[in-house]
Each structure stands twice: as structure tokens, then as C-alpha cells.
Amino acid sequence: MATSGASYLVTGSMGCIGAWTLYHLVKAGKQAVSFDLSDNRSRLNLLLSPEEQKAITFVKGDLTDVSQVLEVMGRVTHLIHLAALQIPFCKADPALGATVNVVGTVNIFEAARQVGLHHLAYASSLAVYGPPEDYPPGLVTADAPFDPRTLYGVYKQANEGTARIYWQDHQLSSTALRPYTVYGVGRDQGLTSEPTNAMLAAAAGEPFHISFGGRMQFHFASDVARQFIEAAETPLAGAFGFNLGSEPVGVAEVATLINALRPATEITCADSSLPFPEGLASGAYEELLPGVKPTPLVEGIRQTIEHFEACLADGRLTADAIG
């Protein structure tokens, strides 16, 4: 559990989940250290006022630089490692993708070991799994074999292997969370950001077409951030990886929910599914990390549209942001 002297390093903190993680740490009065290659606070500005951001220690740094990682790691007691390049960026530049996602994660584990941290939480992904035809019908079980079909998924699988060896060799425990489609304010890049773009379009009164359909699991970015904080605060004896679970939902159903909440808009989606299973079972996750009760989908969509409307109204966002 967190202690009063606790401080939290968040890598990839200028990203969507990272910004939400800083948000929850600040709101809980916890000491947060932000580490990101980028110093663009545009996502964070949607969540925290400049005054609130003064509680955060900002470090602009590169995960691929061992000395920078080691220096910042020496300042903290808890670690949430989120920095990564997503599917399209790994595909466009595989060597850079491997350097950031794989070598960068090795740097995190090695620095944690060197400064004497005993536990960390980090982001893996549903992309470690193969296409639906690899598995029996229904939810993919928590112990199903990995079979990634993207470089991004291959890199995430490698990271789970790195975690396993650091537990085996050094008893450095870790918890990987594997989100599916994260949605919410700040989700503006990556393959599955389009449902969030549709919510922004609805807030702006614009139509939007989501270029894929099918069924998938949705996770509210605010919840996911809290789940990472809980995972960082709850050492489990081993290198664990968890799917986040939740009921699979059709992308068409999400479009219908958005249209029902904002009838003046027109959100549509394609029929084609993404090459991933429609849902992943969470196994022992809720039992071992029971602290965060996921926000119901309709409530998360409602909050996201209202949050976007507030940002559009006060100028933090413009309709140009619709991807």
C-alpha cells in the first residue's frame, strides 16, 4: 500500500492514460513525477488546471536513455510504466518501436532493480493475443496462448517475458495490465481512438464515421488510470499479467449510445471487425485487484461527451481536434 512518503513515477505521462494517472494522483494528494519525451501538456490541460499541475514534478526524458531513467527512478517509491509507441507508429518504424517499447522497458526493469524498487506496474495490451480464429468461441481465457500479429503485440509479449525473468532472477515483482479499447478525454491517437473521436464529434455537433465495427471491450480511461495506480500499490508475488475484462460491446452499439445522448449528431460505423478477439476474460484480476469498479459504458460515454463540451466551450479544444 502507498505510504505518506510515497512518490509515483509515471512514464508516458503526456499520453492519454498517463495524463489520467497524473490526474488521479494529484486529486488523491499523492506525489507524482511525470516522465515523458514530450513536454506537450495538451492532454493534461484537459484534466487539470495549471494551478493543480504545480503539484507534479515534470521531467522531460527519453526512456531509451538508461542514465535518464536511472536518475528519475532514484526519486520514487512507486512506478507506473506506460510510455510506448502504439500500433501505427511501430509499423511505420519497427526499429524505433522496438527500441522504445522493448529496450525502453528493459531499461525500466533494470533501473528499478538497481535502485532497489521491489515492484512495478506497466502497460501490456490485448495485442499480445492472435485473431479470433486462433481461439475457441467466447471470451479468450486468461491463460490462452499469445499469438501477436503486429510488431506492437510482439514487443508487448517480449516485455511480459522481461518481467518474468526479472521476477525469476531478482524477485522484482510486476503487474501488467492489458487494456483493450480505452476511451475518454485525451484518447486521440492509436488504432482504437476512433470511438473517442466520435464522442468529440458528437460534443461538437458534427457527424463521424468509425472505420471499423465488430465487438470489443471498452475501458474508461479514468478507470484504467486508477487500475494502474492500484496495480502499482499492490505487489503480488510474481510477474502477473491481467486482462481487464468487461462485457464485449458492438461498436455499432457505442454509436447508438452516442446518438441517443446527442440526437442532433450522426455517428456511424463500418461492419468490418479488427483482427482481435471480441473479449478477454479477466481471470483472477477482480479477486487480486478489487479496488476499482468500472464505470458503466453509458455513464463513461456521457461523462466524456460532457467533458469534451466543456473543453470546446472554454477553448481548451476546437473542432479541428476531431481526428
The residue ranges that bind ligand NAD (CB under 6 A) are 11-12, 14-18, 36-38, 62-64, 82-86, 100, 104, 123, 125, 179, 181-182, 189-190, 192
**Smaller CB separation from ligand NAD, 171 or 222:** 222
139 vs 132, 192, 286, CA distance in Å?
Answer: 10, 19, 16
Question: What is the distance between the alpha carbons of residues 117 and 109, in angstroms, rounded to a whole number?
Answer: 9
Minimum CB–partner distance for residue 20 and ligand NAD (Å): 8
Minimum CB–partner distance for residue 5 and ligand NAD (Å): 26
Give SS3 for 147. Answer: coil
Minimum CB–partner distance for residue 264 and ligand NAD (Å): 28
What Rg value do the Cα atoms of the chain yield, rounded? 19
**Smaller CB separation from ligand NAD, 36 or 194:** 36
In sequence order, which residues have a C-beta less than 8 Å from that of residue 50 and are 6 or more positions away? none
Joined together, the cell numbers standing for residue 279 give 473479449
Beta bridge partners of 81: 11, 122
Minimum CB–partner distance for residue 288 and ligand NAD (Å): 19
**Smaller CB separation from ligand NAD, 38 or 114:** 38
Question: What is the distance between the alpha carbons of residues 279 and 130, in angstroms, rounded to a whole number?
Answer: 12
**Smaller CB separation from ligand NAD, 96 or 313:** 96
Closest-CA residue to 223 (of 7, 17, 1): 17
**Contact (CB, 8 A) for 214 and 250:** yes
Question: What is the distance between the alpha carbons of residues 287 and 281, in angstroms, rounded to a whole number?
Answer: 13
Indicate the residue whose CB is closest to ligand NAD. Answer: 15
Minimum CB–partner distance for residue 226 and ligand NAD (Å): 14
**Smaller CB separation from ligand NAD, 38 or 171:** 38
**Contact (CB, 8 A) for 179 and 126:** yes
Question: What is the distance between the alpha carbons of residues 199 and 33, in angstroms, rounded to a whole number?
Answer: 30
**Smaller CB separation from ligand NAD, 64 or 268:** 64
Minimum CB–partner distance for residue 274 and ligand NAD (Å): 12
End-to-end CA distance of the chain: 39
Minimum CB–partner distance for residue 74 and ligand NAD (Å): 17
**Smaller CB separation from ligand NAD, 216 or 257:** 216
Which H or E element spans position 59?
strand 56-60
